[in-house]
Amino acid sequence: MTIDLRGRSPMADHMVIASGRSARQVGAIAEHLAERIKLATGRTPRIEGKDAGDWVLIDTDDVIVHVFRPEVRDFYQLEKMWMPSDTLNRVREASRPVT
């Protein structure tokens, strides 16, 4: 999920929120993404939390990427904090199972 932060926060223009199924997968996703960012931009992004693997933050200056284990993502609910409410409601509706 990508959230546009332009005009809403001085820290970055975009936020990306992703999940891995386990601490090991979260760490692997973050490591691979950091390598791809370095290859594409020539800059090494700052990484926090990779050793624990519950929540890894990758800061590329313009984009901040959060990679969570599902339980941690549910607990912090960054989407709820940063998304406009009308967009959040559409995302929730789209993700509800059809009965």
For residue 49, give every residue at least 6 positions away whose Cβ sits within 8 Å of its Cβ, in sequence order, or none: 55, 56, 57
Helix boundaries (H) for 17-60 = 23-41
Q: What percent of the chain has pLDDT over 70?
A: 83
Tens-place pLDDT, residues 45-75: 999 999 888 999 999 989 999 999 999 999 9
pTM over 0.85, yes/no: no
Residues 6+ apart with CB under 8 A from 85: none
Q: What is the structure's pLDDT at 9?
A: 82
pLDDT digits (tens, 9 = 90+) for 17-43: 999 999 999 999 999 999 999 999 999
95 vs 9, higher pLDDT: 9
92 has pLDDT over 60? no
